């Protein structure tokens, strides 16, 4: 059990996730779930809209995200948005909100795309994914390191 703690403290969950994202980004598959819009294009669009590196978006998450828009019949709006990221503010904002929260909309309601890879956890150094170790005991008594 103590080894578990040690490993959590020496290699943070965020570092592990970052490594996984980096590794997966090297081998982005070219599959497509939606006619006329590929997973690669979804990643490219997401990176443009969020102003983040494409390497932060896992293909598996992008695939799930794309499926929700395909289900809602919004592929043509994704295409237009990719061509001009300013063309559809409402959809652009929704895509950004989905990547930050890890939650997308479907015809049936909300759907979790990712929890640990949601961009909100990267918005501030003091935030960490719940249910994963933060730092050594009592770290919460101090402000986060700057």
Q: Which two tokens stand for residue 124?
A: 């501030």
Distance, in Å, from the CA atom of 49 to the CA atom of 95, rounded to the nearest integer, reads 8
The verdict on 2 binding another protein (CB under 8 A) reads: yes
The verdict on 12 binding another protein (CB under 8 A) reads: no
The verdict on 143 binding another protein (CB under 8 A) reads: yes
Distance, in Å, from the CA atom of 92 to the CA atom of 95, rounded to the nearest integer, reads 5
Nearer to another protein, 27 or 84 (CB): 84
Residues 48-77 touching another protein, rule: CB under 8 A, are 49-52
The verdict on 145 binding another protein (CB under 8 A) reads: no
| Among residues 9, 41, 55, 82, the one that binds another protein under rule CB under 8 A | 9
Binding region for another protein (CB under 8 A): 1-2, 4-5, 8-9, 49-52, 89, 93-94, 96-97, 100-103, 110-112, 115-116, 118-120, 122-124, 126-144
């Amino acid at each position: 059990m103590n080894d578990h703690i040690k490993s959590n403290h020496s290699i943070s969950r965020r570092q592990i996730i970052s490594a996984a994202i980096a590794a997966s980004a090297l081998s982005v598959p070219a599959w497509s779930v939606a006619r006329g819009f590929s997973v690669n294009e979804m990643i490219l669009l997401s990176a443009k809209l969020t102003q983040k590196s494409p390497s932060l978006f896992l293909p598996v998450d992008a695939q799930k995200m794309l499926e929700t828009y395909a289900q809602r019949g919004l592929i043509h709006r994704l295409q237009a948005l990719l061509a001009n990221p300013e063309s559809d503010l409402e959809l652009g904002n929704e895509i950004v909100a989905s990547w930050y929260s890890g939650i997308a909309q479907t015809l049936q309601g909300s759907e979790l795309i990712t929890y640990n890879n949601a961009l909100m956890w990267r918005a501030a150094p003091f935030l960490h994914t719940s249910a994963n170790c933060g730092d050594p005991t009592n770290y919460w008594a101090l402000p986060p390191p700057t």
